[in-house]
Amino acid sequence: DTAVSQTPKYLVTQMGNDKSIKCEQNLGHDTMYWYKQDSKKFLKIMFSYNNKELIINETVPNRFSPKSPDKAHLNLHINSLELGDSAVYFCASSRTGTGEKLFFGSGTQLSVL
């Protein structure tokens, strides 16, 4: 069983569209994250979320919004997609606490045309 699964693996879409990437973890973790990896392979945190608190990286446009229907899911919604949104997006989870190991999903490669 995949610990952290995200879908789709590839997403190709037109500018201006709205899209979602789903993430699910079966590890019983309390905290989930979204990261963006740009074309230079540089990772940046976008959001971290547990059942108490959403922490947003202030550099993330408000077109991006995380939605958590329950503790095991953190989906990423993106409105009005732009060319610069093209990147690989990784979901991850961990137990709550600064010393906990991260478990990553396999990534979603988003291409905005």
Partner 1 sequence: KNEVEQSPQNLTAQEGEFITINCSYSVGISALHWLQQHPGGGIVSLFMLSSGKKKHGRLIATINIQEKHSSLHITASHPRDSAVYICAVRSRFDDMRFGAGTRLTVKP
Interaction site with partner 1 (CB under 8 A)? 33, 35, 40-45, 48, 55, 57, 88, 90, 92, 98-104, 106-107, 109
Pick 44 or 63: Cβ nearer partner 1: 44
Minimum CB separation from partner 1 for residue 73, in Å?
Answer: 20
Minimum CB separation from partner 1 for residue 80, in Å?
Answer: 26
Pick 22 or 79: Cβ nearer partner 1: 22
Pick 102 or 113: Cβ nearer partner 1: 102
Minimum CB separation from partner 1 for residue 41, in Å?
Answer: 6
Output phi, psi for 83, to 5 deg: -55, -40
Pick 35 or 64: Cβ nearer partner 1: 35
β-partners of residue 19 are: 78
- Beta pairing class for 4-7 and 19-25: antiparallel
Minimum CB separation from partner 1 for residue 62, in Å?
Answer: 18
Opening angle at CA 38, ends 44 and 25, nearest 5: 55
